[in-house]
């Protein structure tokens, strides 16, 4: 990691594991979509949020998901990837699909919040991963060029985000 000017981390599954029952979240979001006349079976979890936004109920669905994430942050588990933060000699940041306040809460719970110059959730950046604007927004806040940064994540979506943004990627 010493070859980079900054390291950006995904949150859930990389630094901590939020105690969220995503099946329940998906069912509840699906109920909101059905109430809006949409078929939730046509979408994956994050596409459901897109569909909710298109149907004019995005804020309500975001709040529903964020409520689960905040509760899950309170009972989150610290993952081994968080231990490498102490050895970093470059700025660190978070770029997550979770709500920013849930990210901050989970990081604070585990004494990690002060390790990050930027903490960005889906409600902070101009787009959600895998759109590269999520990651490039974080890098702009750090003042670091994409070619000089590393993104650490745990999902194919994280890897695609890094590739689209021109950022090196490492699996957590």
150 and 130, same domain (yes or no): yes
CA distances for 147 relative to 77, 136, 151, 164, angstroms: 32, 11, 11, 12
Which residue positions in the chain have pLDDT lower than 70? 1-2
Q: What is the mean pLDDT of the chain?
A: 96
85 and 155, same domain (yes or no): yes
**Which pLDDT score, from 0 to 100, does residue 2 have?**
67
82 and 165, same domain (yes or no): yes
64 and 144, same domain (yes or no): no
Structural domain ending residue among the three candidates 56, 73, 90? 73
Instruction: Read off the DSSP letter of residue 12.
Output: B
- Helix then strand then coil, % of the chain, to nearest 5: 50, 15, 35
Cβ within 8 Å of residue 67, ≥6 positions away = none
Residue 58 maps to a domain: yes
Residue 89 maps to a domain: yes
* Prediction pTM value: 0.95
Backbone φ/ψ region at 27: left (φ over 0), alpha (ψ -120 to 50), beta? alpha
Give me the active site residues, please. 10
116 and 151, same domain (yes or no): yes
Structural domain range at position 55:
22-73
Residue 1 maps to a domain: no
**pLDDT tens figures, 1-40:** 669 999 999 999 999 999 999 999 999 999 999 999 999 9
**Which pLDDT score, from 0 to 100, does residue 45 have?**
87
Domain count of the chain? Answer: 2
């Amino acid at each position: 990691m010493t070859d980079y000017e900054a390291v950006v981390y995904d949150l859930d599954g990389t630094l901590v594991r939020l105690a969220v029952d995503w099946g329940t979240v998906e069912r509840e979001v699906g109920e909101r979509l059905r109430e809006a006349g949409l078929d939730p079976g046509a979408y994956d979890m994050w596409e459901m949020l897109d569909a909710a936004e298109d149907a004019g109920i995005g804020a309500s669905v975001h709040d529903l998901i964020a409520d689960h994430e905040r509760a899950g942050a309170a009972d989150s588990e610290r993952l081994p990837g968080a231990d490498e933060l102490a050895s970093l000699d470059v700025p660190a940041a978070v770029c997550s699909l979770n709500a920013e306040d849930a990210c901050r809460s989970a990081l604070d719970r585990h004494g990690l919040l002060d390790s990050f110059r930027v903490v960005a959730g889906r409600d902070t950046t101009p787009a959600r991963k895998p759109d590269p604007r999520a990651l490039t927004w974080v890098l702009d806040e750090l003042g670091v060029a994409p070619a000089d940064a590393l993104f650490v994540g745990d999902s194919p979506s994280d890897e695609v985000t890094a590739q689209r943004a021109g950022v090196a990627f490492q699996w957590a």
